[in-house]
Amino acid sequence: MTTTRDDAVLGYDEALAQFDPVMGLEVHVELGTATKMFCGCATTFGAEPNTQVCPVCLGLPGALPVVNAKGVESAIRIGLALNCQIADWCRFARKNYFYPDMPKNFQTSQYDEPIAFDGYLDVEIPAESGEGTETYRVEIERAHMEEDTGKSLHVGGSTGRIQGAEFSLVDYNRAGIPLIEIVTKPLVGAGHRAPEVAKAYVSALRDLLRALDVSDVKMEQGSMRCDVNLSLRPKAGEDPTSDAQLAVPMGTRTETKNVNSLRSVEGAVRFEVCRHAAVLTSGGSILQETRHWHEDTGITTSGREKSDAEDYRYFPEPDLVPVAPDAAWVEELRATLPEPPAQRRKRLQGEWGYSDLEMRDVLNAGAVELIEETVAAGATPQAARKWWLGEPARRANTQATDLVTYADQVGLTPSQVAELESMVVAGRLNDKMARQVLEGVLDGEGGPTQVADARGLELVQDDSALEGAVEKVIADNPDIAEKIRGGKVQAAGALIGQVMKEMKGQADAGKAREMILAKLGAA
């Protein structure tokens, strides 16, 4: 096993001048069912180790699995949303391997009879012209049902109970949680936009799964995980979609495992393009292998070579009977599908009155759902956009994460953003104070009202303080006051600034203006 971190890489543009990338993406999604796929154990995330296990998911002798009806339903809905055919008859299969994360010594999966197959998902990427978007169709090979594995904690010799030995400590709470694996066909024709297409696909898939309400799709918690396959082939001209290019045989691929953020999906594709190109241009050949992605350094390193460890000896699962979805039921489920995300975005842009540019920023920030929920909680679309795309988006970007994940981590919710905006509308906060409150919320000081209370941020509602400041400023600036009396209302701006200064920002500028004009008889 080699784990060199100093693989040579070619510059991305240089690589793309000579090669055409082909990708394949495998996404595993943990379903949000209450129970596991084949037993009634709960699926609560973060439970104490080995508290959600039973004879079935521990693989104890004689235990019999029974399929979770909701798991099948979710699988079919995902298949339908991905424009797939739904199998009228399919089976589960045993994928045999000996590894401690699977106590049964096999994973119950599907092999040559997936429940859904032959679909597609259209994804949008910003057009190269800079205006509008381009659509790339990702062809879906299959979506099949399987189960998750247990979680290992590796313990070194120094901390283990037995001196000098190295152990893995295994928690089987996750073993048996329903998974859907969604596999694309080889993605060709993306050319130099391959990394963007990969990211856009995973992002669109995440939006779709969230809209379907089948999973919480939290990449950082592992409920959605991505494996990236990549190969290069010689370039046959400038058009990656030309017949000549499509006719070029594909190169040897590598599979980068556990790429678990949108940014990393893009990064892993880009890195592997550059690494493959360096190997190929120096006369080497690509080793078909599994690679590990390193989130911190943005590189991949060699894992195990594809070898006999991949010899899974699949066979039909004898403990489970076939799944044969009734056609009428499938049509019923089709009727429950949410509006397709692309169509939905167009509708929302219209409803919100956003310009193309504003909508593009919202899409790039991945803020559509957040804004939708914020608007539903009472904020105006412009206010929702302003707050989400401000400090939260900036911090998410600094922390190399996406807005949804970031908001989730710091606990910022759409209803809090709506609450913040309502405090501005009610005149309790001005814009500057609201920004400070939002920063407090992001810093974990509590909800908007709590932060405003704790930090003493509140526009002075008692007019006497404001009145005092206005009178002082008028007295200090007799020349300007005279101009305003004479009808030069625009001169009030200079006085408002000074009043705000007197009030240390804790005043409503609109009210200060009204008061100045009233006192000088110019209202």
Partner 1 sequence: MGPRRAHRLARMPDLSRDDVAHLASLARIDLEPQELDRLVGELDQVLGAVAQVQEAPIEDVEPMSHPMPLVNVTRPDEVRPSLTPEQALAGAPLAEEQRFSVPRILDEE
Do residues 31 and 178 make contact, with C-beta atoms less than 8 angstroms apart? Answer: yes
Q: Is the Cβ of residue 42 or residue 250 nearer to partner 1 in the bound state?
A: 42
Residue 121 binds which entry of Zn ion, partner 1, none, with Cβ cut-offs from 5 to 8 Å by kind? none
CB of 54 to Zn ion, least distance (A): 3
CB of 178 to partner 1, least distance (A): 9
CA-to-CA separations, 60 to 53, 71, 105, in angstroms, rounded = 11, 23, 11
In angstroms, the CA 23 to CA 11 distance is: 19
Q: Is the Cβ of residue 54 or residue 522 nearer to partner 1 in the bound state?
A: 54
Q: Is the Cβ of residue 324 or residue 454 nearer to partner 1 in the bound state?
A: 324
Q: Within 13 Å, how many C-alpha atoms sit on residue 487's CB side?
A: 0
Q: Is the Cβ of residue 175 or residue 202 nearer to Zn ion in the bound state?
A: 175
User: Between residue 51 and residue 110, which ones bind Zn ion under the rule CB under 5 A?
Assistant: 54, 56-57
In angstroms, the CA 452 to CA 293 distance is: 42
CB of 87 to partner 1, least distance (A): 6
Q: Which helix (H) or strand (E) holds 146?
A: strand 133-147
3-state secondary structure at position 264: helix
Do residues 63 and 55 make contact, with C-beta atoms less than 8 angstroms apart? Answer: yes
Token pair recorded at residue 345: 């975005």
CB of 271 to Zn ion, least distance (A): 39
Q: Which stretch binds Zn ion (CB under 5 A): 17-25, 48-56, 121-129, 397-405?
A: 48-56
Q: Is the Cβ of residue 60 or residue 244 nearer to partner 1 in the bound state?
A: 60
CB of 89 to partner 1, least distance (A): 4
Q: How many CB atoms lie within 10 A of CB 55?
A: 12
Token pair recorded at residue 516: 């100045």
Residue 160 binds which entry of partner 1, Zn ion, none, with Cβ cut-offs from 5 to 8 Å by kind? partner 1
Q: Is the Cβ of residue 50 or residue 343 nearer to partner 1 in the bound state?
A: 50
Residue 403 found at the interface with Zn ion (CB under 5 A): no
Residue 55 binds which entry of Zn ion, partner 1, none, with Cβ cut-offs from 5 to 8 Å by kind? partner 1
Which residue is listed with tokens 């939006």?
207
In angstroms, the CA 509 to CA 158 distance is: 64
In angstroms, the CA 10 to CA 355 distance is: 39
Cβ neighbours for 379, distance < 8 A, ≥ 6 positions apart: 387, 417, 418, 421, 422
Angle at Cα 178 formed by Cα 34 and Cα 139, nearest 5°?
130
Residue 323 binds which entry of Zn ion, partner 1, none, with Cβ cut-offs from 5 to 8 Å by kind? partner 1
Q: Which stretch binds Zn ion (CB under 5 A): 2-10, 32-40, 285-293, 369-377?
A: 32-40
Q: Is the Cβ of residue 129 or residue 163 nearer to partner 1 in the bound state?
A: 163
Do residues 76 and 116 make contact, with C-beta atoms less than 8 angstroms apart? Answer: yes
Residue 41 found at the interface with Zn ion (CB under 5 A): yes
Q: Which residues bind partner 1 (CB under 8 A)?
A: 1, 33-35, 39-42, 48-55, 58, 60, 66-72, 85, 87-91, 96-100, 103, 113, 117, 153-155, 160-161, 165-172, 292, 304, 308-309, 311, 313, 316-318, 320-325
CB of 158 to Zn ion, least distance (A): 34
CA-to-CA separations, 448 to 106, 118, 215, 325, 507, in angstroms, rounded = 50, 48, 29, 49, 18
Token pair recorded at residue 122: 């259209």
Q: Which residues pair with 126 in a beta bridge?
A: 133
CB of 255 to partner 1, least distance (A): 15
Q: Tell me the one-letter amino acid at 12.
A: Y
Residue 68 binds which entry of Zn ion, partner 1, none, with Cβ cut-offs from 5 to 8 Å by kind? partner 1
Q: Which stretch binds Zn ion (CB under 5 A): 46-54, 105-113, 227-235, 383-391?
A: 46-54
Residue 127 binds which entry of partner 1, Zn ion, none, with Cβ cut-offs from 5 to 8 Å by kind? none
CB of 220 to partner 1, least distance (A): 19
Q: Is the Cβ of residue 45 or residue 250 nearer to partner 1 in the bound state?
A: 45
Q: Contact positions toward Zn ion, by CB under 5 A?
A: 39, 41, 54, 56-57
